Structure 1
Amino acid sequence: MGRSSKDKRDIYYRLAKEEGWRARSAFKLLQLDEEFNLFKGVSRAVDLCAAPGSWSQVLSRKLRGKESSEDVKIVAVDLQAMAPLPGVTQIQGDITKISTAQEIIRHFEGQSADLVVCDGAPDVTGLHDVDEYIQAQLLLAIFRGKDVTLLYSQLKIFFTSVTCAKPRSSRNSSIEAFVVCQNYSPPEGYVPNMSNPLLDHSYDVDFNQLEGPNRIIVPFLACGDLSAFDSDRTYPLQLDSNKEYQYLPPTQPPIRPPYQQACHLRKNNLLATEDSPSVLLDDSLSAMKLDTNKENDRTSRNS
């Protein structure tokens, strides 16, 4: 299978490279903004589970514009390291820790965030982890399952508008969706407390049997222009008859991803060996660096 095969199978992966985005997920946030106007009036934004940084890229370009703005503050948080982005402060930490929330608040000089976005796994994006630094809007990536009503119900307590949206760049074959929460309005006297999570998975097993006002059903909205590319369709490499297709490498390769060592061990048939893990890791890093340098050299010669 050639290296251009993914360009045919995933049009948004290809477009991300052509437009300089770090990942195809950038189009999800762009399409959600087209529908909900998320960035209007935003000067303080938080990107949780940010790596590899495509959503932080979108925030940087949309909020800062072509010129740097001192009034705009963007914080990106992730357990993994991430390549730097202009105008984005990076915090390598756990979003479920109070120390991480305090560090974000310090960066905003005690002010609340105007927008919090999170494209992370649902099991680490409970409301109790992020309401410490929410002011106006919240955007969460979720998987629509039988228990998602619990999340909707709790979000409705804190936001006057809760909508479940699916951008065109999100595959129809995936149960992935995004909850867009607007107009943050917590109950009177509510004090955020991360030591007492709201999401409790020991709730009544018959919860989803409730009907009427006891069950919250939020609107579901498909985002993106109808003329946009279909994320589940395979497209030819030659999209424009006036422009010849040229393969492009990813905009930003991962920085020491957790799977890096495993890939090197598998490639060299070392998974079953008893060599020292530290030695294998050093070998893995050296090999990855060498491969990256070779790829950069090839790109320079072709450009």
Structure 2
Amino acid sequence: MGADETSAVLVQITREANALSGTLDEISMAHPGATTTTPSHAAFTGTLDGNALTLSFPQGFGLVRNISGTVSGSSMSLQVPQDDGAIASLPLKPGSLKSYNQAVEAVQASAQANASANEAAAASAAAAASLQESQQRIASAGDAVLKKMKDVRAGLATPPSFSDLDNHLSAARDHLADAQANAAEADRESDQSVACSDAYTADSDAYTVESDAYTIDSDMLSLTSEIDSLKDAAADLNRTLTEYQQAAAALPDYTPPQAPDANQVKDLLNQVSLKTAAWRKKGSGYQSKVAKLLKQARAVAEQAKKEHC
């Protein structure tokens, strides 16, 4: 028998004069790191010529049908062709079935150890990959928070313009003044029909003030849209922060290079709440003011029509 780290071989041989017969048993791994073993069993016949011998395998031994070798005392050496075309020398010495079975167990144990080592390496690689994936997820979530913070800061830095509301409120004041002027003109007219015409002109001015009020309502819709857009950005930031915190909770010992500051986010959200409330209140103020102007314009026009028409 013969054995090494990858295989164990047992040749049971019988000699009658120069004729040989017997069986060859082998268990082997494909290479030192293999995780499985392959058993083989084949019967052979052969001849012995001096120290030289030849073994023939009628059913084949793998791809081999003939193996040559030499005998020296109680030792034997076989020249075994390999899959790559090379010839490997296989030294054999007298041994027992017990020794062979022990050698078989050693080869199987080596394969099992390789399998366990591979499983451990795979588990370690999977754990490392999982850790890296978790870190990347946290870092990505953190980057998303920073981007949302930038968006919210940009919204706070560019407050809505109230110029249109100012202009339309100023126009409403001018049109109220026109209504008042035409009503006063009606009061000064001695001709009743002309005075009535002036009163209806004042009424037309009141309708113009009403148109200004509708325009301010439209401006308020635009203002509300801008406010809602910023509030949506703030809500998106808050959701993104929550997602980051949930991801980070899975790996509490890891902090990404660009970790967002929850306190800064809270401060931004508070600023959005205060600013948007102030902008909405200011916009509502224009509506209140133009409503008063419209009420005055209608009162002036109605009074003028009542007195002169």
TM over 0.5: no
| TM superposition score normalised by structure 2 | 0.16
Higher Rg: 2
| TM superposition score normalised by structure 1 | 0.16
